[in-house]
Amino acid sequence: MRPEAVYAMRKEKLTKLSLALALLLLVAISYVSYRSTVSFAESARLVDHTHLVIKQINQVLADVRDAETAQRGYLITGDMSFLQPYDAVVTRLPDELTLLRELVRDNPAQQQAISDLDDLIVRKMRLLRLGIDTLAQRKGIDNAEVIALVGGEGRQLMYQIRTQVERMIAAEESLLVQRAETLESGTRATKRWILLGNLLAAILLLTAFFVVLREISEHRRTNRELAASAAQLELTNKELESFSYSVSHDLRSPLRAIDGYSRIFEEDFADRLDDEGMRLLGVIRSSSKKMGQLIDDLLSFSRMGRKHVDASMVDMNMLVDEVWKEVSIGHEGVKLDKQTLPAVWGDRALLRQVLLNLLSNAVKYSSNNTAPIVEMRAEKKANEIIYCVRDNGVGFDMRFYNKLFGVFQRLHTENEFPGTGVGLAIAQRVIVRHGGRIWADSKLGEYAAFYFSLPIKNTKRPSDE
């Protein structure tokens, strides 16, 4: 493979890889973002939960404190109405504790702490109840006893409860801080990842973009170069055409002189020339005639290359009949078997030349057959029409097929069949200029078939060059 091709392939691979990687990155970023959002929501929920736990702990503490305050009031005043808040606390405290336990179910350390708190509270509540009961039985109580009931173990217990609550709240708060930190660092990491990922994807996309951009500009440049070299080729071709034209043109004049002066010589000196002299003169004249023929054919071949293709719908039936009349003169024994032929888009004069060459060949090469017949067929394909000229003449050797359409190439000697070997070259030139193909097949001594295809077209005119 050529280095440019390898380079182009590498570039293509690079572009594809960049695009694939960018896509992958974007998918990864989406995933990270999603995960981050989910975990953010989860963290937020957890923070809320911690607040809820703290609130609930405080609630329990407040309840105990309320109960204690109520009992004290009762102890001091003996007024039963002071016990109302106490009763309320006794009723709801188990529920509040259950709720708290429920809230920290996922935290074994706090569970333990609640059990401890629960114990303390039970003891505290029992002590409070003892105080109340004592008063109720005695129907009166002195100050010293009240102080003993309020202070002492009760005070100690209250202190323990408060400490326990503070410890639990501290634990929850540290949890809160921890969670907030996790949340923040998670968010930071996510931000970093998204930023980095986006940056990478952007770089990759830019790379791909520039590669494609360069590819496009290179493509444009190549197209321009191609157009330039096509123009150059056209010019060279035209120069070559005009060269071959002027060469063959200039050759005609001396050739005419050779033939003309031989003729004059023959006229003026016939009486002084013997048979051998006349024969030699005859060779000069026939050779110059032959060369004239070659030059004429070369000229018409060159003209075919320069002639403008003037396309229109061509009635091939009419054209074949017209050409046949011309080529069958002097060969009345040859029969034409013609199918109805579809019309085609092309230059009538040029196609006439093609048919003239193919049909005259068919007549010429089948003339030795006892019952010569020339078949003209056509077949309509999807986007082309294939015409076929077939004769039952001498045919040609398929081994020399590559010489068949060459200029001045002949597969028969001048003695067998006269000709210059330009007819098929011209036919090929015309067909190619119409955007078609020409080909042939044969079996020596049996047949020769020439096919040419013409595009059914009509989107664009056949090339003018």
Partner 1 sequence: MNNDMHPVHILIAEDTPTDAEMTMRALKRVGLINNISWVKDGQEALDYIFCTGEYAGRERNDPTLILLDVKMPKVNGIEVLNQIKSNDSTKIIPVIMLTSSAEEPDIMQCYKLGVNSYIVKPVESDKFFEEVSKAGFYWAILNKIPNLR
Identity of the residue, 304 or 378, whose beta carbon is nearer to partner 1 in the bound complex: 304
Q: Is the Cβ of residue 19 or residue 309 nearer to partner 1 in the bound state?
A: 309
The minimum distance between CB 330 and partner 1, in angstroms, equals 19
What DSSP state is assigned to residue 370?
A: S
| Interface region with partner 1, contact rule CB under 8 A, candidates 94-102, 126-134, 245-253, 395-403 | 245-253
Q: Which is nearer to partner 1, 71 or 353 (CB)?
A: 353
264 binds partner 1 (CB under 8 A): yes
User: Residue 416 carries which side chain, given as an amino acid letter?
Assistant: E
Residues in the chain, overall count: 465
Q: Which of residues 297-356 bind partner 1 (CB under 8 A)?
A: 299, 303
Which residues inside 273-302 make contact with partner 1, applying CB under 8 A? 285, 288-289, 292, 295-296, 299
Strand order in 384-391's β-sheet? 335-338, 373-380, 384-391, 447-455, 437-443
Question: With CB under 8 A, what is the number of residues at the site for partner 1?
Answer: 21
Using CB under 8 A, which of 255, 298, 351, 426 touches partner 1?
255
Pairing of strands 373-380, 335-338: parallel
Of the pair 104, 295, the CB lying nearest partner 1 is at 295
Q: Which of 216, 257, 280, 283 binds partner 1 (CB under 8 A)?
A: 257
Q: Which is nearer to partner 1, 256 or 381 (CB)?
A: 256
Site for partner 1 (CB under 8 A): which residue of 94, 254, 282, 445?
254
- What's the closest the beta carbon of residue 254 comes to partner 1, in angstroms? 7
What are the two backbone dihedrals, phi and then psi, of residue 171, each rounded to the nearest 5 degrees? -60, -45
**DSSP label of 403:** G
Name which of 183 and 291 has its Cβ closer to partner 1: 291
Q: Is residue 252 a contact residue for partner 1 (CB under 8 A)?
A: yes
| Among 78, 152, 260, 418, interactor with partner 1 by CB under 8 A | 260
262 lines the binding site for partner 1 (CB under 8 A): yes
Amino acid at 366: S
- How many CB atoms are located within 10 Å of the residue 336 CB? 17
Give how far Cα 123 sits from Cα of 11, 114, 185, 375, 381, Å: 82, 14, 44, 126, 108
Enclosing H/E stretch for 175: helix 152-269
Q: How far is the CB of 309 from partner 1 (least distance, A)?
A: 14
Nearer to partner 1, 205 or 281 (CB): 281
Q: Compute the distance between CA of residue 129 and CA of residue 90 in angstroms, rounded to an integer.
A: 10
Q: Which of 261, 269, 400, 408 binds partner 1 (CB under 8 A)?
A: 261
- Whether the Cβ atoms of residue 434 and residue 455 lie closer than 8 Å to each other: yes
CB 429 → partner 1: shortest distance, Å? 18
First to last CA, the chain: 33
Which residues, in sequence order, are CB contacts of 366 under 8 Å at separation 6+?
334, 372, 373, 374, 391, 392, 393, 394
Minimal distance, residue 293 CB to partner 1, in Å: 8
Backbone angles phi, psi at 346, to 5 degrees: 180, -175
Query: What Å distances lie between residue 376 and 312, 338, 339, 341, 365, CA to CA?
Result: 22, 5, 6, 8, 15
H or E segment to which residue 292 belongs? helix 275-306
Instruction: Name which position in 126, 256, 325, 443 contacts partner 1 (CB under 8 A).
Output: 256
User: Given the rule CB under 8 A, which of 40-48, 102-110, 261-269, 309-317 is the region that contacts partner 1?
Assistant: 261-269
List contacts with partner 1 (CB under 8 A). Answer: 249, 252-257, 259-264, 285, 288-289, 292, 295-296, 299, 303
